[in-house]
Amino acid sequence: MPPTTLFDIPTPSLILDRAKLVRNIRRMADAARSRNVALRPHLKTAKSIDVARLATEGQAGGVAVSTLKEAEYFAGHGIVDIQYAVCILPDQLERVASIQQQGARLTLITDSVEVTRAICEKGKALDTTFLVQVELDCGEGRSGILPDSGELIEIARLAHEASHIRFAGVMTHAGHSYQCRSIAEIEEVAEAERATAVMAAERIRDYGIPCTTVSIGSTPTALHARSLDGVTEVRPGVYMFGDMFQAQINSCGVDDLAVSVITEVCSHHASLNRLLINAGALALSKDRSTENMPDDVGFGLVADVRGHPLKQRMKVARVYQEHGQVLLADGVSCEELPVGTRLRVYPNHVCMTAAMYNHYHLVDSDQGDGCEIIATWPRINGW
């Protein structure tokens, strides 16, 4: 008989609260609608068709992914408008063509004239058409070209004029919005992101090439942009789940966090005022994104089995491969949390945490005590 509550499942396990997920999805949908832009959910964190169906409900239907395995998976479940939001490699193009044969329209990105030429050549060789967007650097300095660069027009020209390739617009991602510490700072980064994409699109149009898609990304900027004039779509992703880092940069609140890891106390070290849980680096990740934030939660915030943060706040202070070390708060004894006590941990970086699991145990905090498992949703991993 399958487990029916959070008291029955093996630990550690990944928990997804459907009620919070739905609220988070609606919040971003409302933000996109109020700015008159399309919402293309980025599914690199969720990696689940069940989550995708909720996130695309009422939207244009397009999604973004970060691996070709995700593209294959979602295409296999009937999603036909997919952006592969990582610079494409020429040796991946046969695989892209195979995905397109499933009926999907896969948009590729590049910041290279050389790669664009390779895409043209491969399209002819495979007798297929590839859609290409130019990736722009709006300030993060990770990948992409500057909007005033010569390469921008050359890539757009090649993709527009050559056979077996089609120019599909421009895109950028303000990943450096994660370095912001106030909504005002996020607003400034969001405006730079918008201006970069719009400037590039205008340059391309001035050259006589249509540029219908102007795509930006990042959860903080999608939520807090003062204006998205000239932008056609946003591609946020982590907004669906939230995490402790996002809660500290004003993307959500702790009460909005939809994903947690259920774990059990497995050992005590009373003389050092510590206990161990059976969720360590592999179950929680080693991401320390809140390390330099005002509220450092170590490797995750500890909550009770129902998902409520403990009255005397505690965090996972250290992780080993399969163990997490929790420092007991003042006045809390090991006897209050005996071996076998079930706890939940809200992670620093949910994308990294979820990556170790192949399914979600679904609960609903709006139903009863929120401990009943109402479904199990599969998710995929790999490249």
Query: Where are the CATH 2.40.37.20 domain residues in the chain?
Result: 254-378
pTM: predicted TM-score of the whole model, two decimal places? 0.95
Residue 188 has pLDDT above 80, yes or no: yes
For residue 12, say if its preceding peptide bond is cis, omega within 30 degrees of 0.
yes
Class of the CATH-defined domain 42-236: alpha beta
Beta-bridge partner residues of 131: 107, 166
| The pLDDT value given to residue 199 | 98
pLDDT digits (tens, 9 = 90+) for 121-140: 999 999 999 999 999 999 88
| The pLDDT value given to residue 180 | 80
Residue 181 has pLDDT above 90, yes or no: no
pLDDT digits (tens, 9 = 90+) for 233-256: 999 999 999 999 999 999 999 999
**If pLDDT is split at 50, 70 and 90, which confidence band does 1 have?**
low
| The pLDDT value given to residue 177 | 86
What average pLDDT does range 53-72 have in this prediction?
96
Residue 3 has pLDDT above 80, yes or no: no
Task: State the chain's mean pLDDT as an integer.
Answer: 95
Cα separation, 314 vs 254, in Å, equals 14
| The pLDDT value given to residue 271 | 87
**If pLDDT is split at 50, 70 and 90, which confidence band does 143 have?**
very high
Q: Where are the alpha helices (DSSP H) in the chain?
A: 18-34, 49-56, 68-76, 93-101, 113-126, 150-161, 183-206, 219-224, 244-248, 281-284, 350-354
Phi and psi at 312, nearest 5°, equal -100, 100
Domain at 254-378: CATH architecture:
Beta Barrel (2.40)
Residue 175 has pLDDT above 90, yes or no: no
pLDDT digits (tens, 9 = 90+) for 275-297: 999 999 999 999 998 988 888 99
Distance from first CA to last CA of the chain, Å, rounded? 33
Query: Where are the CATH 3.20.20.10 domain residues in the chain?
Result: 42-236
pLDDT digits (tens, 9 = 90+) for 16-38: 999 999 999 999 999 999 999 99
pLDDT digits (tens, 9 = 90+) for 152-165: 999 999 999 999 99
Q: What is the DSSP string of 273-301?
A: TEEEES--HHHH-S--TTTTSSS--BT-E
Q: What is the DSSP string of 223-248?
A: HH-S--TT--EEE--GGGT--HHHHH
